[in-house]
Chain A
Amino acid sequence: MFENLSDKLNLIFKKVRGHGRLNESNVQDALKEIRLALLEADVNYKVVKDLINNIRDRAIGKEVLDSLTPGQQVIKIVNQELTGLMGGARQELLLTGRTPFVIMLVGLQGSGKTTTCGKLALHLRKQGRNPFLVPADIYRPAAIDQLKKLGAQLNIPVYSSDKELGPVDICINALSQAGRYSSDVMIIDTAGRLHIDEVLMNELVTIKEKVRPTEILFVADAMTGQDAVNVAGEFNRILDFTGIILTKMEGDARGGAALSIKAVTGKPLKFIGVGEKLDALEPFYPDRMASRILGMGDVLSLIEKAQEEFDQKEALILEKKLRKKKFDLEDFKKQLSQIKKLGPLEQILGMIPGMGQIKQLKNLKPDERELVKVEAIISSMTLKERANYKIIDGSRRKRIALGSGTNVQDVNRLLKNFAEMKKMMERITSKGFANLPGLFG
């Protein structure tokens, strides 16, 4: 996400840093380029105008020109302005007052409301809530089925909506049934609609009046262009929504919508969708996102993700084994599966500071299938072989290759890498995550 914008800005910054002294004219040049980079990233024209004016006022002022490191100062200002644009501090979901809380998702067709409902329910359950889902999209064929199937996958109850009743009554009835599911959060999936469709927009207003949601979340596609602000503005004017979820952020969307919608509506971005899997929903942190855009990485999110997914006990056992130099292929396999839980490798790399700028790494698209291969090879070994890789001779290699659907060279390569890694690990006796980067090699 944001790679395009991030690449462009980094290039501009490099130039800025290259100037020993900054004067008004080279700051102006840089600003022109930043402006185009933002426009190409679909940031709204007017938002860009304001942003550039703010940066200009500060960058040409004393703050920068008198500084010893003017280039750094300019970058700092851009970072601060971007963070400000995206909303400053993280805003949590507002779940206070009387239960059941009602969360309502609204947006255009195809923005990803139904999938996001499932993701949000899973997220809330992880936080100890008891959500249930209410399909109120009676228009799109099979939309109700879709939510029911998501509910079944997640083992989260789905209200059995009666199409004949219409969305408003469905929501009212569902709310009165919350007790039956012993639920404290009800998530409503509304039908996608155009912001200029008066009848359907009024339907949302009625639902809002009847079920009094604590959160109305506007779901928007990260790939939306300049129209994003019109759509969001209109939804906000009519519904006064409470927050924004941006979906499909895992592609090469330039994410300008993220920067614009908040600026235009004044409402906070609360989550971003980063994949098709149901756990691919991340809380949104404006400051962290700004540093990701500026190619400064996002170590905090990486650590949090690791803490959430890593099995602490497993990690302890592993650490002990490492200390005793007993790390074997079986442990290696376990560690691989832990890494896989963190999500696509590319995403993980993107969170590490400076990774974006390293040229060699740019072209190194980590291949998920390589991991699958490695796992298959280890799975085709006997327990004895896993415990002591040195006994794996030629005929064993052949058998393993056959069993894992790979070839002997693959097995050779894995064993060689493992031996090297083991050597390296034994040298470094530091603990925990310090060992992880070695695995990517």
Chain B
Amino acid sequence: MFGFRNKSIEKGEEPAEQKTGFFSRLKQGLKKTREGFTGRLDRLFLGKKEIDAELLDELEEILFTSDLGVEASKELIELIREGVERKNLDNPAQLKAALKEKIIEFLTIVEPEVREPKPGEPLVVMMIGVNGVGKTTTIGKVAALYKNEGKKVMLAAGDTFRAAAAEQLAIWGERVGADVIRQNEGADPSAVVYDAVSAAVGRQIDVLLIDTAGRLHTKVNLMEELSKIYRVADKKLPGAPHQIWLVLDATTGQNAISQAEIFHKILGLNGLILTKLDGTAKGGIVVGISRQLGIPIKYIGVGEKLDDLRPFNAKDFAEAIFSE
């Protein structure tokens, strides 16, 4: 994952490209996605002046292979078909504009009300997700973001199951300069969280990030363990955890929707973090999830560097996907 080969970060040097604006960096990170999705759209429209059945078929293929999912794809294609029938759409350029607009609409989510920590109390954020999506790495990156804002950050090693998970988090803690609260492997994660919340209050920490063990959303007992962690945190510090973020792997297919649904049902999610967008995965699941569940996307991971975690902005995201 994030590497020692990346010496510049260890020394705390900012990469040179820092000067370029956020928008272009986001675009750069999403280049692969764009090449995948719009690159193909462009080729599809090349030389076509009219929308015919063949073009709609090919459009369907593009939407499906971008992991947009059956439901979202169907809705988009239906929209285009209707537009064509009503003669609102009669050329590929309009079609593209209509698609973009609809996707932005799917991605634009009114932020639901969130619990705020009381003055003087730490903001407690819990990160959850299935195995291998990059929770621990993401916590490291989120910690760095808060650190840059001048916040005092603490990490809680709530993954007591995976071998050496606490060690991994401890290394991150050292890198970004955050205290790490941990116990032995196999310890009750709720106990770790109880300790961490007490310590965060005692040491006047601004942000406490809780790492949890990866778990498949279908495992009932492991999902109950999460509820317990939640209850324990809330008991120690009423209102905590204030935020629960689900970390999703961009290479995941339709299963991501099932993951989001079940985690949301059990804990109530406040945000999503989409990792690994720097590969060739199209990241289309975001559209499907936003459309279906209305959970805002907080951050996207577009690279392995410490600062490759970007705040998500629906408009910028769609803009970057669709820019020529």
* A interface residues (Cβ-Cβ under 8 A, vs B): 36, 39-42, 44-45, 108-112, 138-143, 145-150, 153, 163, 191-192, 194-196, 221, 223-228, 230-231, 248, 250-254, 256-257, 276, 365, 368-369
Least distance between A308 CB and chain B CB atoms (Å) = 24
Q: Flag if A192 contacts B1 (CB, 8 Å).
A: yes
Q: List 12 A-B contacts (CB under 8 A).
A: A110-B276, A142-B164, A146-B165, A147-B163, A163-B4, A192-B1, A223-B252, A225-B67, A225-B281, A226-B66, A251-B216, A251-B219
- Highest count of chain B CB atoms <10 Å: which of A40, A41, A109: A109
Given A112-B132, A221-B132, A226-B67, is A231 in contact with B163 using a C-beta cutoff of 8 Å? no
Nearest-neighbor residue (CB-CB) of B222 within chain A: A276
Q: Are A252 and B254 in contact (CB under 8 A)?
A: no
Between A42, A141, A191, A248, the greatest number of chain B beta carbons within 10 A of the residue's beta carbon is seen for: A141
CA distance A45 to B65 in the complex (A): 6
> Roughly how many angstroms separate A194 CA and B277 CA in the complex, as a whole number?
11
Cβ-defined contact, A224 with B252, below 8 A: yes
Q: Please, how many angstroms separate the alpha-carbon atoms of A192 and B251 in the complex?
A: 14
Query: Quick check: is B64 within 8 A (CB to CB) of the other chain?
Result: yes
B106 within 8 A of A: no
The answer to whether B216 touches A250 (Cβ under 8 A) is yes
> Which single member of B69, B220, B282 contacts A365 (CB below 8 Å)?
B220
User: How close is A372's CB to chain B, nearest CB, in angstroms?
Assistant: 11
Residues of B near A36 (CB, < 8 A) are 70
Q: Is the CB of B285 within 8 A of A225?
A: yes
Q: Which one of B66, B69, B130 lies within 8 Å of A251 (CB-CB)?
A: B130
Number of interface residues of B (CB under 8 A): 51
Contacts of A148 in B (CB 8 A): 164
Q: Are A252 and B251 in contact (CB under 8 A)?
A: no
Q: Bound complex: CA of A150 vs CA of B161, how far in Å?
A: 12
Most B-side CB within 10 Å, residue of A191, A226, A365? A226
Among A45, A145, A227, A256, the one with the most B-chain Cβ atoms within 10 Å of its Cβ is A227
Q: Roughly how many angstroms separate A2 CA and B61 CA in the complex, as a whole number?
A: 23
Given A140-B1, A196-B280, A365-B220: A251 and B255 interface contact (C-beta under 8 Å):
yes
Determine whether the beta carbon of B279 is less than 8 Å from that of A231: yes
Give the CA-CA distance A257 to B256 in the complex, in Å.
14
Known A-B contacts A250-B216, A254-B254; the reply to A110 vs B134 at CB < 8 A is yes
Proximity string of chain B (212-238) to chain A, C-beta cutoff 8 Å, 1 when within and 0 when not: 000011111100000000000000000
B70 and A40 within 8 A (CB): yes
Q: Is B195 an interface residue (CB 8 A)?
A: no
| A146 to B2 CA separation, bound complex (whole angstroms) | 16
Select one of A42, A141, A223, A225 contacting B167, CB under 8 A: A141
Question: In the complex, which residues of chain B have a beta carbon less than 8 angstroms from the beta carbon of A228?
Answer: 251, 253
Q: Is there contact, CB below 8 Å, between B258 and A109?
A: no
A160–B298 CA distance with the chains assembled, in angstroms = 40
